[in-house]
Amino acid sequence: MTEISKFIVGFLVLQGAFLSLAAAIGVLRLPDPYTRNHAASKSATLGVLSLLLGVFLYFWLLKGEINSKIILGIIFVFITSPVAGHLIMRAAYNIGIPLWKHSVQDDLKEKKRKESRE
């Protein structure tokens, strides 16, 4: 029982760490701020969620205590991290950061031009 619990916890923590690494590689390599935010705000959130789930299972299965602080942390990160990504990217679009030069479609630009004409 202890060995199986250790295997599950180790797997979850290692998966979270590799997802964080994937997010960081995406932030390094992608071409413009919008795609970088797409990598960072999704992958980093899932990575840290998996990591925190591993820690919760560690304290539950191996130490025998249910720790509600980690559950609160999981819920909070899950709710607020995409909201933070949305706010940054809306600010970035409104101050005029250009898209990647190979982007093909920008519907929001048409809408903003129409609004400014009225």
Residues that bind another protein (CB under 8 A): 6, 9-10, 13-14, 16-18, 20-21, 23-25, 27-28, 33, 36-37, 40-41, 44-45, 47-48, 51-52, 54-55, 58-59, 63, 65, 67, 69-70, 72-73, 76-77, 80-81, 83-85, 87-92, 94-95, 97
When the beta carbons of 76 and 110 are compared against another protein, the nearer one is 76
Least distance between another protein and beta carbon 83 (Å)? 8
CA separation for the pair 38, 82 (Å, rounded):
10
Q: What is the distance between the terminal CA atoms of the chain, rounded to a whole angstrom? A: 69
The one-letter amino acid at 61 = L
Closest approach of another protein to the CB of residue 64, in Å? 12
Nearer to another protein, 21 or 108 (CB): 21
Provide the 8-state DSSP code for 60.
Answer: I
Q: Which of 82, 83, 73, 66 is nearest to 51 (CA)?
A: 73
The two tokens of residue 26 are: 């995406």
Q: CB 84 → another protein: shortest distance, Å?
A: 4
Give the amino acid at 79.
I
Q: How far is the C-alpha of 78 from the C-alpha of 26, rounded, in Å?
A: 20
Question: How far apart are CB 104 and another protein at their closest, in Å?
Answer: 21
